[in-house]
Amino acid sequence: MQSTNQNIIVLDYVVIELLDSNIMRFEFTKDIIITMELTSEMIDVCKKLCPDRLYKSLKIIHHKFKIEKEVVDLFAGDIRKEMMSVEAVVLTTPALRIFANFYLRVKKPVIKTKFFDSEKEAVAWLLNN
Amino acid sequence: MDYHKIIIVDDDSTSVFYAKDVLSEIFFSGEVLSFDKPNDFLIYYNDNKHLFIGKILLLLDINMPLKTGFEVLIEIEEEFDEESNMDVIMVTSSNLKSDIEKASRFINVIGYVEKPLSKKKLEDIFNAEH
């Protein structure tokens, strides 16, 4: 884990930054399969950057992105509500958008979640929610 | 898969056979219907939509001679919202980027698979292994 300043933590596969308005920005920097191990690592980073309060999650995904079933199931439960209040996800490929449709319709996220094509729209939505 | 009914719309009888075989392989116990003409499906859908109970999965081919899968989706798109009970998987021989892009714009499309449909491809969708 490398830290460049107190609000940014750079991991091998993601840059996590706490922005103004309590927005936690995750930018995934390469193709990845999200495992339980990586999930735990990211949860630890979020707790370090934003202890004792809920954040608004902003996820930016440009690359191939797979999520292990156990992680999807974990985040379909209450743990998500304990960490974040709302989530915006920016997806830049059609395959990811189809996955987003699946996620919204079949997995039914426990917090308010919306998918976007651009980061600008996603941030505007987060600021209003 | 908690679907009450699965509807296959495909003009190719071999693909329909494969799809039904996969559904029996996963022990799908609900009703399975198939239509080889998109218009027959649309007539059935419009006549029966108010009677549908539970969730429905539509396995929809893209390239059909009389009407494409996208044209079918456009005709029923008005019914699509986050609460609608129909999920759609595009099952197609086309892996054109433009088709995947187009499919991704319909909010009820939850999967896009290349023919032939297989148990593994269906499981990959429902296990969220994208």
Q: d(Cα B94, Cα A95) in Å, to the nearest integer?
A: 14
Segment B43-61 shows an average pLDDT of 90
Judge whether B129 is closer than 8 Å to chain A, CB to CB.
yes
Contacts 24+ apart (CB under 8 A), A36-44: A36/A68, A36/A70, A36/A71, A36/A74, A38/A13, A39/A71, A39/A74, A41/A11, A42/A11, A42/A14, A42/A16, A43/A83
Write out the H or E segment, with its range, that includes residue B97: helix B97-104
Question: Is this complex scored with an ipTM above 0.90?
Answer: no
| Position A93 confidence tier, pLDDT thresholds 50, 70, 90 | confident
Give the pLDDT confidence score for residue A79 in this predicted structure. Answer: 80
Q: Are A72 and A33 in contact (CB under 8 A)?
A: no
Please give the average per-residue pLDDT across A88-94, as a whole number.
91
* The predicted structure's pLDDT at residue B43: 95
B4 touches chain A (CB under 8 A): no
Yes or no: say if A91 and A121 are a contact pair by the CB < 8 Å rule: no
pLDDT by residue (tens digit) across B70-115? Answer: 999 999 887 776 667 899 999 998 778 899 999 998 989 999 999 9
Q: Pick B109's closest partner by Cβ from A65, A69, A98.
A: A98
B interface mutation test: which of A91, A106, A108 has the most B CBs within 10 A? A106
The pLDDT confidence band at residue B49, using thresholds 50, 70 and 90, is confident
Q: Which residues between 95 and 124 in chain A have a beta carbon less than 8 angstroms from any beta carbon of chain B? A: 95-99, 101-107
Residues of B in contact with A94 (CB under 8 A): 97, 100-101, 103-104
Parallel, antiparallel, or unpaired for β A32-34 and A23-28?
Answer: unpaired
Q: What tokens appear for B93 in the block?
A: 């021989």
Q: Is the pLDDT of residue A35 over 80?
A: yes
What pLDDT does B130 receive? 45
**Chain B residues touching residue A105 (CB < 8 angstroms):** 82, 87, 107-108, 110
Instruction: Dump pLDDT digits (tens) for B21-42.
Output: 999 988 888 999 999 999 999 9
Residue A115 has pLDDT above 70, yes or no: yes
- What pLDDT was estimated at residue B82? 65
d(CA A116, CA A89): 6
> What are the φ/ψ torsions at residue B2 (nearest 5 degrees)?
-95, 50
Q: What is the pLDDT, as a whole number, of residue B79?
A: 73
In this predicted structure, the answer to whether residue B9 has a pLDDT above a threshold of 50 is yes
| B31-58: average pLDDT | 92
Q: What number is the average pLDDT over the span A64-75?
A: 81
List of residues 6+ apart from B3 with CB closer than 8 A:
B28, B30, B54, B55, B56, B57, B87
Instruction: Count the residues in chain A.
Output: 129
With CB atoms and an 8 Å threshold, state whether A94 touches B108. no
Q: Which residues in chain A are closer than 8 Å to B126, comparing Cβ atoms?
A: 106
Distance CA A66, CA A34 (A): 6
- What is the pairing mode between strands A8-10 and A14-18? antiparallel
